[in-house]
Amino acid sequence: MADNNNKHAARFILLTIFLDALGFGLVVPVVPHLVAELSGGDTAAASAAFGVMQAAYAGATFICAPLLGRLSDRFGRRPVLLLAMAGATVDHLVAAVAGSVGLLMAARFLAGVCGASSAAASAYVADTASPENRGRAFAIAGTVFGIGFVSGPALGGFLGEFGPRVPFYVAAALTGLNVLYGLLVLPESLPADRRRALDLGALNPLGGILSWWRHPLIGGLMAVVFLFMLAHSGIQASWVLFTDVQLGWGPREVGISLGVLGVIAIIAQAGTAPLLIRRLGAGRALLLGISGMCLFCFALAFAVAGWQVYAALSLLLVAMAAGPASQALVANAVEVNEQGLLQGTISGVTGLAATFGPLVGAWTFAHFIGPAAPVHFPGAAFFLAGVLGLIGLGLAARAVRRSIA
């Protein structure tokens, strides 16, 4: 973004990316408690509703990201970004005053729609950076996103001590101020003569997935990515509920744990994952990463103390090598002119997993703490995630053998 002469515009884009990550993480520690409050204190019912909300958020982002990206190609980045940020402000306010689970669920769906503005923000970064500096620009944007992702849950946990609605009001205030800032300083980055008409057929988020399904190597690896993300998003949906029931944690403790998780994720993505791939190769790093994920899930399933949870989190330093390793394997399997479609397909697969994973995780948790459960097992969702990881490990081993053959 160094190529952009308007430093205020660059700051706005970075603030938008930061607030997108911050706004999501800010409310994570308190949404389950707010759902429980609106559900009359029924933890099992609240967990199921929370899973639906997580799925609604992910599904809205999955469906709307291509649409908002294409709308920014047609009408420019500025109006799409500002409207999305304004929508996020309204969304946070609606969630803050919601008096029913249904209204809160609608607010989370709208949050997913507005969160899809990241496609337009990324396009703005590409517009305003020269080709030789785009890598650095996106690295800066990724770092800012990581900072927001890490600080959001910690701040949300702290604010949640004053009430489960407070983080929503804070998120609305920050986002609204950024909209006003953007109205004053953000220029349009896409000239009118470079805009393109809408191609409605290209808006189908499933198109890329279907095009690769029959590929002998990529189809298998896509299944691995799906299972890995299904397990990961199921854990996310159950985390707050599990730590509440099993460990008695409140918003503050949950916020700290999610902050620690975010720091570990940044270290893993920037340090251990590239190191493992470089030393072991993408195939072996993938198998090691999935193995670490399985161990992480099973360790969490039987955790009964906080220190055990934090010990399990250390396994993510290895587990998070699985994502970039799988991307490296599939990228090497196609031609250069197919990379865009392939990377879009990976995003589609992770989006689908993020849609269904919260449903599976939260409903599994709800069943095994409810009165009809064959055994009281709050860690059941994590155990299921570990089983999904083992299935993915088998598929990954087969795919790695094909890549070597």
Q: Per-residue pLDDT for 302 more than 80?
A: yes
Task: Classify domain 1-186 at the CATH topology level.
Answer: Growth Hormone; Chain: A; (1.20.1250)
1-186 shares its CATH topology with 204-405: yes
Q: What is the pLDDT of residues 25-70, one digit of tens each?
A: 777 777 777 877 777 766 666 666 776 777 777 777 777 766 776 7
Q: What is the enclosing helix (H) or strand (E) of 10? A: helix 7-27
The alpha carbon of residue 135 and the mean position of all alpha carbons in its chain are separated, in whole angstroms, by: 22
Q: How confident is the model at residue 229 (pLDDT cuts 50, 70, 90)?
A: confident
pLDDT score at 336: 41
Q: What is the pLDDT of residues 165-174, one digit of tens each?
A: 888 898 889 8
Q: Per-residue pLDDT for 238 more than 60?
A: yes
User: What is the pLDDT averaged over residues 63-78?
Assistant: 76
Q: Is the Cβ–Cβ distance between 108 and 56 less than 8 Å? A: yes
pLDDT score at 4: 44
Q: Is the Cβ–Cβ distance between 58 and 354 less than 8 Å? A: yes
Reduced to 3 states (helix: H, G, I; strand: E, B; else coil), residue 165 is coil
Q: How confident is the model at residue 203 (pLDDT cuts 50, 70, 90)?
A: low
pLDDT score at 282: 80
Task: Classify domain 204-405 at the CATH topology level.
Answer: Growth Hormone; Chain: A; (1.20.1250)
Q: How confident is the model at residue 199 (pLDDT cuts 50, 70, 90)?
A: low
Higher pLDDT among residues 261 and 2, named by residue: 261
Q: What is the pLDDT of residues 339-378, one digit of tens each?
A: 545 555 666 677 778 778 877 888 888 888 888 778 889 8
Task: Quickly list DSSP for 218-248.
Answer: HHHHHHHHHHHHHHHHHHHHHHHHHIIIII-
Q: Per-residue pLDDT for 1 more than 50?
A: no
Higher pLDDT among residues 166 and 117, named by residue: 166
User: What is the pLDDT averaged over residues 20-28?
Assistant: 74
Buried b (16+ CB within 10 A) or exposed e, 61-83: bbbbbbbbbbbbbebbbbebbbb
Domain ranges of the chain: 1-186, 204-405
Longest dimension (CA), the chain: 64
Give the separation between CA 78 and CA 187, rounded to whole angstroms: 7
pTM for the structure as a whole: 0.62
Q: Which range among 107-121, 241-255, 330-344 shows the weakest confidence by mean pLDDT?
A: 330-344
Q: According to DSSP H, which parts of 302-379 are helical?
A: 306-313, 316-319, 322-331, 339-369
